[in-house]
Amino acid sequence: MRLSQYFLPTLRDTPAEAQIVSHRLMLRAGLVRQQAAGIYSWLPLGLRVLRRIEAIVREEQNRAGAIELLMPTLQSAQLWRESGRYDDYGAEMLRIVDRHERDLLYGPTNEEMVTDIFRSTVRSYRDLPLNLYHIQWKFRDEIRPRFGVMRGREFLMKDAYSFDLDEAGARAAYNRMFVAYLNTFARMGLRAVPMRADTGPIGGDLSHEFIILAETGESQVFCDRQLVDMPPPGDVDFRSDLQPIVEARTALYAATEEMHDATRFEREVPEERRLSARGIEVGHIFYFGDKYSKAMNATVHGPDGVERPVQMGSYGIGVSRLVGAVIEASHDEAGIVWPDAIAPFDVAVLNLRAGDGATDAAAQHAYDTLGRSGLEALLDDTAERPGAKFSVMELIGIPWQLVIGPNGLARGVVELRHRASGERHELSLESALSKLGSR
């Protein structure tokens, strides 16, 4: 992509309404623009990050055996009346009446709708286990939307829903999602710590939040430091017993502020391993048994011929929220520092003297070569001063910068900069391209 032909409306000054780092940087770097309180348009750069996060989430859900579908944003109020949640959910639910006087709502979550899909199609235990997921926009009418996409009203979410014959199967499904979440966040360059959590309005008796640590996190968390350093499970057989992997993490103390037990924390965790930090929730998983299936008559015939309500769980990842959460955890004074896997572009090629024949030719050669190597590059071919070019690239946080200018070319070198470490190396153009292509 050529910057001269791209839409990247960066801001020099920080908007007054932006209260936290991610909100400030997302506005300044041209990722989003606010349309109403808690509602944002995703501009091209932000959309590229959103799609990369979405792709990782989708790949890991598929690997764990979940099956993708797509449910609508609007739902019938009748389904929520069946489950008993329509009146209980509260003012966060956006209620709508259509022209035929039918009650609808803009879905804040999809337990009722997916249960309806299940009960209308599945009759036998032979069709289980089943896990259905989608990545869809949701709406919760927050009383005070704030912090940009971290607490907006409209947000993109991956939610999955498991269906099993009995509790043992349901807990195995829970474990599959537990492990899949650890791998998902690790691929994004994040260390997510699973913590026992309150089930909230979704209900159930087993729940974990996945928390990433950040100095600017929204809440206080407490855990055994060993949890932060544990490597992700990696390539596992999701058909096998995953309980040992789950137990290795849940056996160690970890709790959100709401669930924290100071006495237990001091008793179970040696002082040198006690970690108290700020954290950001990026995922939440629940096992709630027959809470919805019983209320909505979602039943199957078991191997004994007896009809019984299925056991269910739900599993959410805040896809749009992750964009803000990553920035909170990975930034510096100059701007965003994207992890490689979710950066909007892999490499920025900076032509320091657009219009100079030799510099233009070298920059074009670099851009074409990177593309053939499968890397997505942003070519800054604008007439801006070098200082302005560097400022923009630091702000938007592309992992690698390939700097090409007439003075360096006269000496046979270009400069390769790594955004996260700040390292700079002078290399021949071909050596720099080879280094980038072999990453």
Q: How many helices (H) and strands (E) does the chain have?
A: 14, 23
Q: How far is CA 313 from the centre of its chain?
A: 20
CA distance 119 to 315: 19
Find out whether 109 and 202 touch, Cβ atoms under 8 Å: yes
Tell me the pLDDT of the chain (439 aa) as tens digits. 999 999 999 998 888 888 899 999 999 999 999 999 999 999 999 999 999 999 999 999 999 999 999 999 999 999 999 999 998 888 899 999 999 999 999 999 999 999 999 999 999 999 999 999 999 999 999 888 888 998 899 999 999 999 999 999 999 999 999 999 999 999 999 999 999 876 555 445 589 999 999 887 888 999 999 999 999 999 999 999 999 999 999 999 999 888 899 999 999 999 999 999 999 999 999 999 999 999 999 999 999 999 999 999 999 999 999 999 999 999 999 999 999 999 999 999 999 999 999 999 999 999 999 999 999 999 999 999 999 999 999 999 999 999 999 999 999 999 999 999 999 999 999 999 999 998 7
- Domain positions in the chain are 11-336, 345-437
What sign results for the dihedral spanned by CA atoms 164, 170, 176, 177? positive
Q: Which residue has the tokens 């997916």?
A: 114
CA distance 32 to 43: 5
Considering the domain 345-437 in this protein, what is its CATH number? 3.40.50.800
CA distance 413 to 180: 44
**pLDDT for position 157:** 97
Triad 337, 341, 345: Cα angle to 5°: 70
**pLDDT for position 147:** 85
**pLDDT for position 202:** 47
Nearest to 38 by CA among 85, 96, 106, 101: 106
Amino acid identity of residue 246, one-letter, is V
**pLDDT for position 198:** 66
CA distance 159 to 61: 10
DSSP symbol at 273: G
- Please state whether beta strands 424-427 and 311-318 pair in parallel, antiparallel, or not at all (unpaired): unpaired
CA distance 5 to 370: 19
Do domains 11-336 and 345-437 share one topology? The answer is: no
83-88-93-99 Cα dihedral, nearest 10 degrees: 60
CA distance 227 to 323: 23
Superfamily holding 11-336: Bira Bifunctional Protein; Domain 2 (3.30.930.10)
Phi, psi at 70, each rounded to 5° = -140, 120
- The residue ranges of DSSP E strands in 102-242, in sequence order, are 103-106, 130-139, 154-164, 192-196, 206-213, 219-224
CA distance 273 to 215: 18
CA distance 314 to 210: 14
Triad 247, 200, 315: Cα angle to 5°: 55
Cα distances (Å, whole numbers) of residue 138 to 65, 155, 202, 246, 313: 24, 5, 15, 29, 19
- Look up the pTM and report it: 0.94
